[in-house]
Amino acid sequence: MNPVSSPKSPGSINPHEAIHRDPEMVIFGFWVFMMSDLIFFGVVFAIYITMVGATAGGPGPKELFDFGSLFAQTMLLLTSSLTAGIATVIVKHERSRAAFLFWVVITLLLGMGFLALELYDFAGMAEKGGVPQRSGYLSAFFGLVPLHGLHVTFGCLWMIVLIVQVFTMGLGDVVKLRFLRLALFWHFLDLIWIGIFSVVYFGGWVYG
């Protein structure tokens, strides 16, 4: 737990190394980060809710949303959460490195598929005049949904870096712990997406 209480003399321990001795602490620290991110998302959600209806004569949710694409995006993200979970189980039970890499690559591809669909959706919205500067409503929409997309983008980058690290550093404890945090982050994004399709899309459609 505490680096000072370690049996070795405290001076000889590299503090960075000491942190990695306690995986529970590292995971807990990551939870603290995720919860601060959750509150950040919460504020942007609150802005969106107060901005529903502030369309200033521009296109609103009823003209802009494509529920087919929304459904496909939701399925891609949910499935990628499962594949990230399978990779987690493989890491925890120390199964083969190849199987681990396989499931990480599948997760990465599903994540990129989600991003491609989302960008396609935004392009479709822009064609109908739904650009961020059109109204307060659209500013709020493009403040929230692409913020989630940006998180997914960074998650994908994280996966690419992790795959490179597995090849260069091997699947050691440090890389494993990095993956466990990535998996938590990925499941967390899935949870935020539940909020987005319930509040932004369904809520926006009904009240907008």
Residues contributing to the site for another protein (CB under 8 A): 28, 31-32, 35-36, 38-39, 42-43, 45-47, 49-50, 52-54, 62, 67, 71, 74-75, 78-79, 81-82, 85-86, 88-89, 92-93, 95, 184, 187-188, 190-191, 194-195, 197-198, 202-203, 205-207
CA distance 133 to 137: 9
Residue 108 or 192: the one with the smaller Cβ distance to another protein is 192
CA distance 187 to 173: 21
CA distance 103 to 71: 23
Contact partners, residue 205, CB within 8 Å, separation at least 6: 61, 62, 65
CA distance 188 to 191: 5
89 neighbors 180 (Cβ within 8 angstroms): no
Q: How far is the CB of 104 from another protein (least distance, A)?
A: 15
53 neighbors 207 (Cβ within 8 angstroms): yes
Residue 13 or 25: the one with the smaller Cβ distance to another protein is 25
Q: How far is the CB of 8 from another protein (least distance, A)?
A: 25
Residue 102 or 165: the one with the smaller Cβ distance to another protein is 102
Residue 71 or 120: the one with the smaller Cβ distance to another protein is 71
Q: How far is the CB of 9 from another protein (least distance, A)?
A: 29
Q: How far is the CB of 146 from another protein (least distance, A)?
A: 20
